[in-house]
Structure 1
Amino acid sequence: MLQTPRGGAGDGTAARDSGLMSIGMVLNTLREEFPEVTISKIRFLESEGLVEPQRTPSGYRKFSAGDVERLGHVLRMQRDHYLPLKVIREHLDAMERGEAVPLPVVGRQRDAEGALEPVEGPTVARIGRAELLAAAEIDESALEEWESYGLVAPLEDGVYDVEAVTVASLVAELGRFGIEPRHLRVMKAAADREAGLVEQVVAPLRLHRNPQTRAHAEARAKELAALTVRLHAALVRTALGVRLP
């Protein structure tokens, strides 16, 4: 649980007496759990309406313990669930109103060991471009580059499906290891071939007159997709000669 810091740089008497914290104090508190957070990130979350700190007459931000706790929730939901900021804001606002709302999920989330895993439950069907940029913490130029390689693609109406958040977040993570989008074209090509194979199997079921049979096609496609993902992971582990979680 986030704790209000005691002492340290920027911990003035006025701040201690009022129970409010400067943005620098908030940064120090959050970095215990989120080492990569920056003052710019906190300001961005404020601009997106995720937190509303008080302002002094001279314009300085002053955060309450509740503000810091809310920021921690936001960063946690971004890190563990890849939720768009709009969804996070709506979820936290509902919680503050006392509503019992389940946590929405998008595509994948992290398990207790930090690995990505499929999720079940209410999902966010589509997100806009700005929400995708915020969720993946990338800029417009990066997204345009990824789109040029076919790694991420908008739907016909310009929005993105839920898996785009997962793809964008994973491409960003791979980038930290020096793997550029152009290197991932081979993965995209392999994924397209695997999807084509699954489609060949379920296509006759999709065209059937019986609605139950068509519904069965969707279930079969999901099952086959899961199997191909497991096989792909196993083949990569075998090729590398390593054991991965």
Structure 2
Amino acid sequence: MTAAARAGEPAPGAGATGADSRPRFTIGEVLADLRDEFPDVTISKIRYLEGEDLVHPQRTPSGYRKFSTADIDRLRFVLAAQRDQYLPLRVIKEQLDALDRGESPATLPARPEVTAPESQPAPAREPEQGEPLSAADFAAAADLDDAQLADCVQYGLLTPGADGRFPASALAVARAAGGLARHGIEPRHLRVYRTSAEREAALVEQVVAPVLMARSEDAHTRAAEQLRELGTLSTQLHTALLEARLREVLGADAGA
């Protein structure tokens, strides 16, 4: 059940931008509400989606974000469309704008289905989870141009298969790289992220390796669970350290 349904609030449009007396949540509470369904979501991701004009939380006088239940359902719509349909943010924003204009049902599905207008041909079948994509389809799904995709490959952020196709699982990396590029951080600047990820993975591998040496199905299952937990903790630590450093930057700017 969505947050809007729990609070009796319509979604996704009117309650997301207008001031009202409906329940309001901190960004941490929003993260907790979404994380069961979207384990990879982070506070930085929510802030990024706000920056892309996909959600419009209110601000307290001290500057803290306060999200309505309709805001949370808008976020759920965006995250589900990215995860299940590999849609770029530009297309998702067009869908939300249409919903806000009342051109589609007001209820947000947990996993939205997009139907082409009758005057348009039906869209091509979306790739199945793990199904490789051609370079053109991958770039379109990640909202990258050809040059940006080539740069991501050149600097080791993405690795195509021998047939030149890209795994759908790499879309998260490509979308993040594209988002950073829109802020002037090009793929050539991102090698530090790749190097850091490789070092973190090596550290985690050292922890799990003794379990895998048993070479049994039970050991493999335990190792997979341990990897997931360590991956989540590593992501949380990385995010917390980065956000702490960025807060220091803001503090330094404020004192300047």
TM-score by length of 2: 0.47
Q: Which has the higher contact order (CA 8 A, sep 6+)?
A: 2
TM-score by length of 1: 0.49
